[in-house]
Structure 1
């Protein structure tokens, strides 16, 4: 398995020069600087900035200019906020995780309060933080939108995952960080171009996720966060995953559909309860060409599937480059 560069090293490089639009050396000269550390967070302005109106999935919402006390209720919103230099005062986390996504150094989120699980946040905890802005999406929080907007202006995107780039732009507007967003997007484009040059196009990449409590195996299609990254990198997909949908669910005895030139897999939750342990030991898994060629690699679920945003994307791309030998 390729040697993994510590993420703290990658993140420190990524955060060195975002706000000036400069690049830095990450993994040699291959990856640009893309994400600031919380030290870049601007202090509250002594003079409140004018409110702005943003167009959300629920209609126009008036938000305070340059909000600082921000609560994020899903992983994409968390990635957007930190990438744009805002450390949330509160955040929700995935139910199966013991903490926030582990691709962020713990010190970066030391001041961020846990406000419950994604999809079922604790309203009292959010209220106690006196937020100026709440960021989430309708997939998770449509049913509690009226309650949330009673606490603070609440910006919901329609969904999460596949439209993450458009969602990031809405987050940037709500956070008054459009200028920083331009630098983030530009640097991501450079990183993608450099990675394509390093690894070349082609090769069919299989993406597999085992989910606790699910009797099926999830094969990710093109309309997913990870699917967009592979499209950006001009990498191919196995036939079963080369579809314009989020994912395809297959029974364990259909695991042959997971084969590809390279296979990357992760587990959400307990591997025993997700079926990971049994499937990896099965004859069907062992018969996969990627497994026999030693090109099947476990990856971090919190990054590859929950790291929805530009910082997560750049870390995944950096790992893909190492796995694919660029």
Structure 2
């Protein structure tokens, strides 16, 4: 009987040890899961995008980005791409991002990507845009999981959210967007009643000129700040305008419509394009331009095409707000 009791005691001890071991294993597994969550790791997640869905086995580490605004999104999220399309202005990057792009390989232009170069970088994620790259989606997707935004217009925030999700950095992305909105609110408060003025935005290019409107990069930011648009420009943006409310190409006879309480203008002149620079000089020396009230009142301001239009991303958006604060403080 004594031996039987000893056996029971021994079995009880073994049971307790096994239960403790199981408990520790469960705690270890839970801790490991928590660590993975804290590090941002995610396995087997699927992203819905403009061309369907893309499945990633883990958080991507080698990313190729095929749009200018997308490059800024990655940098703002703390991700340096292994490859990116060349900036529309700069050699090869915009001045405001070149310090962050050291070592990044050029993979062609946004309008003409280099598939062989992209493949050589062995990315685990490619981010592109349907408007720009629909024709090569299949080839890109054969290289690596590929996520496409739908289009490229003034509201860069929608694309930014998609990119943050694809990179498994949604929380970081929300922080970036919240910081931008706070920046807008700060500038709006500093400007006070100055936002009640009507603004006009003009762009000069090689042999042509445009008035930019509400769906443009600068237009969306002006709207968020509360600025009004030049009222007499509304009649230009009809259903027949091929660019919608983004912009409209105009001749010199429309220069009077470029007027506003404040006029901002910029020139797209890649590599110092002389034709574009000559267009800007010709138009700004035209008697009709000189007769604009904004010009006569010293309220016409030349600004950076890269910052105010071409780059199109979150870093440029913040830089535009800084430019605007400085310009308006002087008035």
Asked whether the two chains share a fold, i.e. TM above 0.5, the reply is yes
Matched, 1:92 2:102: no
> 2:299 is matched with which residue?
295
Structure 1: segments with no counterpart, 5+ residues: 1-44
Structure 1 residue corresponding to 2:326, chosen from 317, 322, 326: 322
* Aligned partner of residue 53 in structure 1, secondary structure: strand
Structure 2 residue corresponding to 1:280, chosen from 277, 284, 301: 284
Q: Is contact 2:216–2:246 with CA below 8 Å preserved after alignment?
A: yes
**Structure 1 length normalisation: TM-score?**
0.80
Structure 2 Cα separation of the partners of residues 262 and 234 of structure 1:
14
Query: Map of 1:241-260 to 2, 5 A cutoff?
Result: 241-242=233-234, 245-260=245-260
Structure 1 Cα separation of the partners of residues 40 and 298 of structure 2:
59
> 2:134 is matched with which residue?
142
> 2:240 is matched with which residue?
none
RMSD, aligned CA: 2.1
> 1:210 is matched with which residue?
204
CA drift at 1:239: 2.6
Structure 2 Cα separation of the partners of residues 69 and 271 of structure 1:
35
Larger-gyration structure (1/2):
2
> 2:62 is matched with which residue?
69
Matched, 1:304 2:285: no
CA drift at 1:94: 4.3
Q: Is contact 1:241–1:247 with CA below 8 Å preserved after alignment?
A: no
CA drift at 1:294: 1.5
Structure 2: segments with no counterpart, 5+ residues: 1-37, 238-243
CA drift at 1:96: 5.5
> 2:29 is matched with which residue?
none
Q: Is contact 2:40–2:168 with CA below 8 Å preserved after alignment?
A: no
Distance change >3 Å, CA 47–CA 196, structure 1 → 2: closer
Structure 1 Cα separation of the partners of residues 103 and 90 of structure 2:
18
CA deviations on 1:150-179 (whole Å, 9 max, x unpaired) are 111111111012231111110000011111
Structure 2 Cα separation of the partners of residues 117 and 187 of structure 1:
30
* Aligned partner of residue 96 in structure 2, secondary structure: coil
CA drift at 1:310: 2.0
> 2:268 is matched with which residue?
268
Q: Is contact 1:199–1:324 with CA below 8 Å preserved after alignment?
A: yes
CA drift at 1:253: 2.8
| Count of residue correspondences | 279
More helix by share: 2
